[in-house]
Amino acid sequence: MKNRHSNIIAFFIIFTLVICKSFSQSTTTESDFWNKVRFGGNIGAGFNNNFTSIIIAPQAIYQLKPNFGIGLGLNYSYSERDVNNASFQDFSSNIYGASIIGIANPIDYLQVSADFEYFYVNQNFENSSLDREYWVPALFLGAGYRQGNFVIGFRYDILYNDDKSIYNNGLQPFVRLLF
């Protein structure tokens, strides 16, 4: 199983290098390449009495054409629940991942996207017999209302799995801001 995951990671790295090399050769200068790269992503934190959640997910999108771009992203998420209640288990979770995204603007105010994410999940519980480590993919198809660099919409994970997915359900709202 680990060999399969190593092959997938190697594929991502090789794919990224080939794409970057082909784009850099198709531009006349290095500054032309970087003028077509847009940066954005997600950052967030949630806290309450017994729960902490932090997420950092930067993205870079290369604009192939004014209405189409592809890009890469990294993801890190940390969650912790610390309760003194027999009904709940204390736990902590670290999630690391990478993503490939394609976005298109078929009309000025509509953005559609396909986003493949691949995560390594490490969950540690108060009862260590419940600890889990696993890999999980997600393939989101999304659509959103676009106003300039700002997009708000929904995406659906067509690979959603109740037992392994890191999200509560397959349908996720999103906000995207690229500079």
In terms of Cα–Cα distance, which of 126, 125, 129, 119 is closest to 161? 119
- Per-residue pLDDT band for 27 (boundaries 50, 70, 90) equals very low
Q: Which of 80-89, 93-102, 122-131 has the lowest mean pLDDT?
A: 80-89
| pLDDT above 90 for 69 | yes
In terms of Cα–Cα distance, which of 33, 34, 40, 104 is closest to 73? 40
Cα 90 to Cα 97: distance, rounded to the nearest angstrom:
24
When computed from its CA atoms, the radius of gyration of the chain, rounded to whole angstroms, is: 18
Q: Which CATH number fits domain 2-177: 2.40.160, 1.20.1280, 2.30.30, 2.60.40?
A: 2.40.160
pLDDT of residue 1: 54
Domain regions of the chain by residue span: 2-177
pLDDT of residue 2: 53
Q: How far apart are the first and last CA of the chain?
A: 39
Q: What is the mean pLDDT of the chain?
A: 86
State percent of the chain over pLDDT 70: 80
The residue-averaged pLDDT of 137-149 equals 96
The SS3 assignment for 88 reads coil
The residue-averaged pLDDT of 33-53 equals 89
pLDDT of residue 166: 86
For residues 116 and 126, the model is more confident at 116
The residue-averaged pLDDT of 85-95 equals 80
DSSP character string of 32-49 = HHHHTEEEEEEEEEEE-S
